[in-house]
Structure formats: structure tokens, C-alpha cells
Amino acid sequence: DTGVSQNPRHKITKRGQNVTFRCDPISEHNRLYWYRQTLGQGPEFLTYFQNEAQLEKSRLLSDRFSAERPKGSFSTLEIQRTEQGDSAMYLCASSLGSAVMSEQLFFGSGTQLSVL
């Protein structure tokens, strides 16, 4: 068990460019979540997957954002035409996906995005 891995750790881009982040969850985990965290705030839910199916998307996720989990393993989060307001820490988490409501989420260290 190597934990949840996110790449890159840091990304600096110019406004208008596209960026893509990758998340590798813990291997046996069926659920994968994306959160966004800005300075001084708690993480905000963006979207989650059960295996390869994207089951819920927050209204925070504008049409410039897209997430995929093609084979139910790793996931990517792409932001098109980045804006300065997209600057944040993007967190990925995974969980077993059992029927237990209160199951633990395991978080990665995040990707820090800076849009200049």
C-alpha cells in the first residue's frame, strides 16, 4: 500500500493554457474523489467516481473542468483555458467503496496550481 499519489506536486501555468493532473489511488479502492482547496479554506468537493463511472459533479465544476477514470484505476483532472481563479491545491482521495457511509477517505498530498 503506497498511498494515494498525485502528480505533479506543483504546476505553474499561464492564463489560458490547459493543464492536466493525475491521481493514482490505493490499488484496491473503488471510489475516487477530487477536491479543491484554496488558502484558508477547507477542501471543497468537485467530483467522484465509483470505478470508472463519474457519479456526482459539484456545481463548482465548470465546463472548463473535466475528469476521467478510464479503467477504474488512475484518474485525470483537466482544466481548459485556465483562469487566475483556478489557482488552488487540487486534492485527490480514494476509499474502498463499501456500503459503509462513514468509511475513511485517504488523501494524496495534492497538486498546487498557480495560474499567472
Partner 1 sequence: GNSVTQMEGPVTLSEEAFLTINCTYTATGYPSLFWYVQYPGEGLQLLLKATKADDKGSNKGFEATYRKETTSFHLEKGSVQVSDSAVYFCALSEWGANSKLTFGKGITLSVRP
* 102 touches partner 1 (CB under 8 A): yes
Q: How many Å apart are CA 54 and CA 70, to the nearest integer?
A: 10
Please select the residue that binds partner 1; options are 17, 109, 114, 116, rule is CB under 8 A.
109
CA atoms of 23 and 15, how far apart (whole Å): 23
43 scored as a contact of partner 1 (CB under 8 A): yes
Size, binding site for partner 1 by CB under 8 A: 29
Q: What does residue 35 show for φ and ψ, rounded to 5 degrees?
A: -130, 160
In three-state secondary structure terms, 86 is helix
For residues 27 and 13, the answer to whether their CB atoms sit within 8 Å is no
- Interacting span for partner 1 (CB under 8 A) from 10-18, 21-29, 70-78, 106-114: 106-114
Calpha distance 48→15 (Å, rounded): 26
Pick the binder of partner 1 from 95, 111, 113, 115 (CB under 8 A). Answer: 95
If binding is defined by CB under 8 A, does position 78 make contact with partner 1? no
Interface residues with partner 1 (CB under 8 A) are 3-4, 31, 33, 40-45, 48, 50, 55-56, 91, 93, 95, 99-110
